[in-house]
Amino acid sequence: MGRVRLGAVGYLNARPLVYHLDASPRFDLRFDVPSRCAELLHEGAIDLGLIPSIEYNHPITRTEYAVVPDLAIASNGPVASVAIYTRRDIRDVRSVALDTSSRTSVALVRVLCQRVFRITPRLEHRGPDLTDMLSACDAALIIGDNALVQDGDAVTRKHDLGEIWMQMAGLPFVYAFWAGRRGAVGPHDVEALQQARDLGLRHSDEIAREYFAASPDRQAMGARYLRDNIKYSLGEQERAGLELFYRYAVEAGVINCAEPLRLFEK
């Protein structure tokens, strides 16, 4: 068998899922932003992608995909790295600048605008520069490392979307998971990916130190984030949260239909 081409998210929160996979003789590993991981998978340029969960319902390939069992990037409350920033009450927001690297979080914004905030803002895609985004729009969605290190202040408030989802739904939120065309990986590959996650979780402090090598303050923050905010399982509760998100996304017009989750054999 040939090597499995993996497309992973380059953010800190994905590093435990790929711990030491770069040294594996079975996998070729590359890093990109979430939206690019999805594009590469849809194009067939990678075999398995750590894709935004909303991309499982891609209209061209959705019936072809399966998901690696028990692995995800999720939260069960505040996530810290997916947030809307505002300088006014969120119910007064009329425009939102959306981080171009995000897709699941953009879908989540649309769901929350409909179901929680009760607003219908104009949506505009922009690069993840908070000052630029808030100069053009009333609010800004930023994800990943940029949101993790960007707190609110006396003027700008940070709204944690993982926390808001949990308050609304009472279930975890799943941002991303390993997906690929059926047959792309076998049981031994699934086991290797699960073992990488387990090993990565045992070395989360080390991962944070290496990732933020130039900033001891951020090392401590990163370790807390990996330990307390990000969850890496795709269990019964996570799948229930995912199914609810898909249903709400259909109702909000984000996707046309929700595909049942199919899993690779383990």
Do residues 36 and 218 lie in contact, with contact meaning Cβ atoms separated by under 8 Å? Answer: no
Whether 86 and 154 share a structural domain: yes
**Mean pLDDT computed over 241-248:** 97
pLDDT at 246 over 90: yes
Is residue 258 in some structural domain? no
Q: Are 185 and 68 in contact (CB under 8 A)?
A: yes
pLDDT in tens, 33-89: 988 999 999 999 999 999 999 999 887 666 789 999 999 999 999 999 999 999 999
Where residue 157 sits, what CATH number does that domain have? 3.40.190.10
| Separation between Cα atoms, residue 132 and residue 145, nearest integer Å | 17
What percentage of the chain carries pLDDT values higher than 70? 98
Count of structural domains within the chain? 2
Query: Which SS3 state, helix, strand or coil, does residue 42 take?
Result: helix
Q: Which of 169, 188, 205 marks a domain boundary?
A: 169
Distance CA 11, CA 156 (A): 24
CA distance 112 to 123: 13
Task: State the average pLDDT over residues 5-25.
Answer: 96
Partners of 49 in the beta sheet? 7, 179
Each residue's pLDDT tens digit, 129-183: 999 999 999 999 999 999 998 876 767 999 999 999 999 999 999 999 999 998 9
Can you give the pLDDT at residue 84?
Answer: 97
- What domain range is 227 assigned to? 4-73+173-251
Please name the amino acid found at residue 13.
N
Quick check: is 259 in a domain? no
